[in-house]
Amino acid sequence: MRGVISLRTAEPGDVPQILRFIRALGVYEHLESEVVATEAALHATLFGERRYAEVLLADCDGQAAGFALYFHNYSTFLARPGIYLEDLFVDPAFRQHGVGKALLQQLARQTVARECGRLEWSALKWNALAIDFYLRLGAVALDDWRGYRLSGAALQRLAE
């Protein structure tokens, strides 16, 4: 049975819940040891003087059900901003209730309203449930692209 879903933009008082979702996502993705985020760091980067990302929160029947964390990127080919969805997580108790779709629909609305050229995200190759969900929504896999990352010691070495 689908419950009543409500969406809202996160506020500073939501940081503890955001961190709980991030930790739960880390467990789901088998990456919990990489989650080093703290409430203080989230306050600073989400609600501080310079805001690096935004968060949409979903409630289902008044209970915290999921979140989407996103930020702007830029397409040189389009000469327009885009939105990159860093994380989408729905609590297992609320999956198959339309929460994920509601979050992505709202993010799509924001993408269009902000005159962005595209909405993008990544998915782990093993996460077939998420991939199937995204494909059902009309997303296209970017199989010709491979993601790269610099972090930790490698990032420090390059920065020297």
**Catalytically active residues, by annotation:** 134
- Under 8 Å between Cβ of 69 and 53: yes
DSSP state of 50: S
Nearest alpha carbon to residue 133 among 105, 109, 110: 105
Residue 47: alpha-carbon gap to chain centroid: 16
Helix H segments across 2-113?
15-28, 39-47, 99-113
The answer to whether the CB of 44 falls within 8 A of the CB of 15 is no
Q: Summarize the chain as % helix, strand, coil (round to 5).
A: 40, 25, 35
Q: How many CB atoms lie within 10 A of CB 153?
A: 8
Q: What is the DSSP letter of 158?
A: H
